[in-house]
Amino acid sequence: MIETYKEVIAYRQMIISTVRKDLRSRYKGSFLGFLWTFVNPLLQLAVYSIVFPLILRNNQENYPMFLFVALLPWLFFTSSIQGATTSVVNGANLVKKIYFPRIILPLSVVCTNLMNYIFGLIIVFPALLLSKVPLTFNILWLPIVLIIEFIFALSLSLIFSALYVRFRDLEHIVGILTMVWFYLTPIVFAIDIFPKIVADIVAYNPMVPIINAFRDVLLYGNAPHWPSLLYAFTVGCILLIIGLTIFLKLEKTFAEEL
């Protein structure tokens, strides 16, 4: 694993180039182009802000911002694991022709979506100010929360991208998984709408403390709840080790399977 880390550092320019290419090509040829980075989450925000308060009879204060600061990191997470799942297969031509650390393929997808989230902050901060949400020094914890989510997203991306080379049905399974996961994470609602016994079970979902931490630092001006965030970090690190182990073991057969 240390050798893999050294290789990734050595090939960092390839990661940067791949991320740039992905960002440029993502909306190439579309009328709005790069603006879709902002339009897509805003459209989802508009739909959820109208529909879910009616369904749930939600009286959450400042609901649009309550939803928005959670929706963006969720989109980063799901876009990362869904895009990374097919990354090795999509890069089959490169895998067969030249040597490079195969881990760069899923890693680049996660990095691309991380950049999309950072670009999304361009509209988050003005929206918070317009909503009269005071920004405090606790916002400085945002990079830490983002790193923890990055680790968790990367860990699943490594597992899914390696397994997808052999099991092509996995793409559809991941799509269903993220859809179900969405409703098990307090994005459109607060976790306290669940009965206590259900809320206690849902709290084991690592995305719960991560999403709550984004709300704490951006919306409420508080420091994250460190014990629960430490739990998410620990789960992410364990899964990252598992993901690296699976990926490094299976990557030896990628060229044959592709």
Please state, for a pLDDT cut of 70, what percent of the chain lies above it.
88
Which pLDDT band, with edges at 50, 70 and 90, does 64 fall under?
A: confident
DSSP class per residue in 187-251: SSS-GGGS-HHHHHHHTTSTHHHHHHHHHIIIII-----HHHHHHHHHHHHHHHHHHHHHHHHHG
The answer on pLDDT for 33 being more than 70 is no
Do the Cβ atoms of 258 and 95 come closer than 8 Å? yes
From 36-45, 118-127, 247-256, the region with the lowest mean pLDDT: 36-45
Q: What is the pLDDT of residue 22?
A: 86
Comparison of pLDDT for 218 and 46, the residue scoring more: 218
Task: Encode pLDDT of 77-94 as tens digits.
Answer: 999 999 999 999 999 888
What number of other Cβ atoms are within 10 A of residue 245's Cβ?
A: 14
Joined together, the tokens standing for residue 107 give: 């890693």
Q: What is the pLDDT of residue 182?
A: 92
Task: State the total domains in the chain.
Answer: 1
> Average pLDDT in the 111-128 region?
90
The answer on pLDDT for 32 being more than 60 is no
From 102-116, 123-137, 167-181, the region with the lowest mean pLDDT: 123-137
Q: What is the pLDDT of residue 65?
A: 87
> Average pLDDT in the 69-75 region?
93
Q: Which domain holds residue 119?
A: 2-257
Q: How far apart are CA 139 and CA 71, in angstroms?
A: 17
Q: How far apart are CA 122 and CA 223, in angstroms?
A: 22
